[in-house]
Structure 1
Amino acid sequence: MDPLEIAAGLEAHGITDRTARRFRHRDVFSLAEELYARTPHGEAPAAARTRVPAGPCALLRLGCALLPGALAFGAAAAVPVWAGPVAVAVTVAALVWPGRAAGGRWPWAAHLLAAAVTGWAAHRYGTALALGLALAAAPGHLVAAAFAARAGARLAGSRALEEFADRVRPLLLASVAVFAAAAAGAAALAAAPLTAAVPLALLLFLTRLLLRHGAHRGPVAAALALALVPVPAAASAAAAGLLVHAVLALSRASAHARPRPPTRKEKQKMTGQPTNQGATR
């Protein structure tokens, strides 16, 4: 759709400025400009330019984001014995719903580790902590959606990969700060200890961001595993380390590029159907 989208795709496939210089271009963006000029293209449809879901779909996703807190509050009021496990379950489920992770794949290891971290924290600090994390799911959804929309706008307005990275890093840090304040409010509402609730909420929020934007899962799993260490500062260290990884990963244009819909041949290949009549022989 534009040269920066092509540059993001090249970057995602490991094409660096050094590789671009082999093709007599100063950087990846210059190479993308030539590819864009050589490729036939027309006016993009309005639906393809839409970045922020609107209408019933957006309301459904917001309702799903509000559901964990409502279920956790209901469990705490009705059956206090099961309030903690219910809050843990709906908090981890909020990492998956609404929407799958990038590429349509389910990162089971990350979600199992997130469940272990949340369950271990609820066991150590009580049901109030699990309730506070469940309440933080709704502001986490809103902040993540706002970050994705604003990062997409910056992607459309940038003319180089370095320019986009410089513009999106402050946006990410501001989003983290806003969510931290919201998580502190949720913890206070649930009467949970702030020193334990806020780092864990930040860890789950960064996990959601990274998984939804297609980042590598290794650092996410390592940070979640670190949070399982029975040391009070483990969750804070894990959240800080994952924030560093998020700044590096989410400042790449390829993390925010619009996915290209599969072609007819690709759909047939994914479903196992023959691509032509000769393939059936």
Structure 2
Amino acid sequence: MTTVDPQTAPPALPAPPVFEARGAGRTPGSGAPGPRTPAGARSGAAPMPGTLPPDPRGPHTGEGGNGEAASDEAAAKPVRRRPGGDPVKALLHRHRELCERAVDPLEIAAGLEAHGITDRTAARFRHRDVFSLAEELYARSPRGEHPAARPGRAPAGAPAFRGFGYALLPGALAFGAAAVDPAWAGPVAVAVTVAALVWPGRAAGGRFPYAAHLLAAALVAGAAHRHGAALAVGLALSVAPGHLVAAAFAAGARARLGGSRALEDFADRARPLLVAAAAVFTAAAAGAAALAGTALPVAVPLALLLFLTRLLLRHGAHRGPVGAALALALIPVPAAAIAAAAGLLLHAVLALSRASAHARP
């Protein structure tokens, strides 16, 4: 047996490195290759020893996943954004007829308030108040040719003179009937008073469209029967100042509507105007009653009640409170007419301080 000198023996070669088999397809201590990585997952360079090759299933997020590849893939896809909605367009479609027929933005503001839209609701449509929302709706709505109308101006020309002439007729006819035959003064005065003072130019709908007029006719006829024909003549004379005061109130309310920027602002400015109109008419009715020679405590409350009835029906108020006040005044007690007039005045202050009460018919 040959003995090898350790000093003269060649040095031993180092052992080959052992690769870990996590994902590399090798098992420790074996030289068998594992499954090949697909060509589509290669990046062009072999993985460094000790690193993980790309997952054949593609990039995914999660525990132990390749988050950067997932974020690159998400960034490559186009981001789909939901288009921003236009709430005003939906409102315009819902109130299309109102917006197309309006002659100015104030008509739209009054119509929106009648449908329950307030300044707080307008904030959901990105507007500070109903008037600002109405201006945008008016600008965006198509419309045909409409006659120009400026808010705050009283009607001028032939219609205004014709209306004032109609208001003068009841007193003239009552005086003429009294001069020809005093027995006809009462019936004529009742008829013309109801027709001129109570008959509205525009009224709200209802199941009984003429109930208020019938109640007013019964009220005037009953009062004339109890207190004499002079009372009916005094009521007929109050028709002309009632027409003038109602026209002045309508013009003043339109002017305040044009200068307001919020519904509450308009209400605060319209209530004193109505109280002033009622006070002016009460003074005029007292003068008419004195001219006719009838008792003021009886004639003035009835005249104010009829004036408020005409004013409310003219501005499209509901007939329920009006009919209740007229029915209360039918009670043959002097205090009944006073209570009915006071209650209807309170209702008128609330109802006629709304912008929707002053929209043109």
Among residues 166, 171, 195, which one is paired with 1:69 in the alignment? 171
- Tell me the SS of whatever aligns to 1:180: helix
CA distances 1:237-281 after superposition (whole Å, capped 9, x unpaired) = 00001001100110000111234xxxxxxxxxxxxxxxxxxxxxx
CA distance in 2, matches of 1:87, 1:136: 11
Structure 1 residues without counterparts, runs of 5 or longer: 260-281
Deviation at residue 60 of structure 1 after TM alignment = 1.3
CA distance in 2, matches of 1:48, 1:165: 22
CA RMSD of aligned residues (A): 2.6
Matching residue of 1:212: 314
- Change beyond 3 A, Cα 1:224–1:155: same
Check if 1:47 corresponds to 2:148: yes
Matching residue of 1:133: 235
CA distance in 2, matches of 1:54, 1:27: 31
Letter in 2 for 1:129: L
1:4–1:160 contact (8 Å) kept in structure 2: no
- Tell me the SS of whatever aligns to 1:134: helix
1:7–1:161 contact (8 Å) kept in structure 2: no
CA distance in 2, matches of 1:118, 1:35: 46
Deviation at residue 231 of structure 1 after TM alignment = 1.2
Letter in 1 for 2:301: P
CA distance in 2, matches of 1:5, 1:130: 38
Deviation at residue 6 of structure 1 after TM alignment = 2.6
State which drifts further: 45-54 or 77-86: 45-54
Check if 1:250 corresponds to 2:352: yes
Query: What's the TM-score once normalised by structure 2's chain length?
Result: 0.65
- Tell me the SS of whatever aligns to 2:349: helix
Check if 1:230 corresponds to 2:341: no
CA distance in 2, matches of 1:48, 1:103: 23
Among residues 289, 293, 298, which one is paired with 1:196 in the alignment? 298
CA distance in 2, matches of 1:182, 1:101: 24
Higher relative contact order (CA 8 A, sep 6+): 1
2:198–2:306 contact (8 Å) kept in structure 1: no
CA distances 1:22-62 after superposition (whole Å, capped 9, x unpaired) = 5566654454455456x1579x9663227422222211111
Matching residue of 1:85: 187
- Change beyond 3 A, Cα 1:85–1:92: same
Deviation at residue 82 of structure 1 after TM alignment = 1.6
2:238–2:285 contact (8 Å) kept in structure 1: yes
Deviation at residue 172 of structure 1 after TM alignment = 0.6
CA distance in 2, matches of 1:23, 1:52: 33
Deviation at residue 150 of structure 1 after TM alignment = 1.0
CA distance in 1, matches of 2:257, 2:118: 18
Among residues 89, 114, 117, which one is paired with 2:219 in the alignment? 117
Matching residue of 1:278: none
- Tell me the SS of whatever aligns to 2:340: helix
2:129–2:261 contact (8 Å) kept in structure 1: no
Deviation at residue 20 of structure 1 after TM alignment = 4.2
1:136–1:183 contact (8 Å) kept in structure 2: yes
CA distances 1:206-252 after superposition (whole Å, capped 9, x unpaired) = 00100000011110011000000111100000000100110011000
Letter in 2 for 1:198: V
For these two proteins, the number of residue pairs brought into alignment is: 257
- Tell me the SS of whatever aligns to 1:49: coil
Check if 1:240 corresponds to 2:342: yes
Deviation at residue 66 of structure 1 after TM alignment = 0.3
